[in-house]
Amino acid sequence: MENGEPRILGIDFGLKRIGIAITDPLMMFGYALVTLANDNKLWENLSQIFSEFYIQKIILGMPYKSDGSPPNFSKELEIFKTTIENKFDVSVEFIDERYSSKIAEEQIIASVTSKKKRRDKSLIDKNAAAVLLNDYLENA
């Protein structure tokens, strides 16, 4: 979609779920959008997001280990990055997201009163994507 305001997408990649966040039209802040299952409908679901928003750039979280080494699934993450660049003709930039899920979990505990809702892992994934996107925006 070439009309509409350009936005930046934040992605928290996981082997089971992928958290998605997006910037506001002025690209001042990112907010949690959706969590997608990492399954055979993933590319169809991502295409839907790309048809709804004009995505100018993607920030993809690289969850380095505490010692700075890449995650065990770094090969899958690299394949995902290359595929998304080719499918959607968009630049993808890695960002260190070592603690984004923990920060998202703390924010959810502070703001979501229902214990049942707090256990929803998809809530953590999309909020982790928002954390990494906002980190990128603050440091860009």
Q: What's the pLDDT score for residue 1? A: 46
Is the model's pLDDT at 57 over the cut of 70? yes
Residue 22 lies in a domain: yes
Supply the angle between the helices 74-88 and 42-52 in degrees, to the nearest 10.
50
**DSSP string computed for 3-71:** SS-EEEEEEE--SSEEEEEEE-TTSS-EEEEEEEESSTTHHHHHHHHHHHSEEEEEEEEE---TTSPPP
**34-48 average pLDDT score:** 97
71-101 pLDDT per residue, tens: 778 899 999 999 999 999 999 999 887 665 6
pLDDT confidence bin for 59, thresholds 50/70/90: very high
Domain count, the chain: 1
What's the chain's average pLDDT?
Answer: 85
Residue 28 lies in a domain: yes
Residue 18 lies in a domain: yes
Residue 127 lies in a domain: yes
Q: Comparing 18-27, 44-53, 108-117, which segment has the lowest mean pLDDT?
A: 108-117
Residue 132, domain extent = 6-139
Residue 133 lies in a domain: yes
Supply the angle between the helices 121-139 and 100-111 in degrees, to the nearest 10.
110
Residue 1 lies in a domain: no
CATH (domain of 56): 3.30.420.140
- Residues β-bridged to residue 7: 55
Q: What's the pLDDT score for residue 12? A: 93
Residue 15 lies in a domain: yes
Q: Is-above-0.85 flag for pTM?
A: no
Tokens of 134: 């906002």
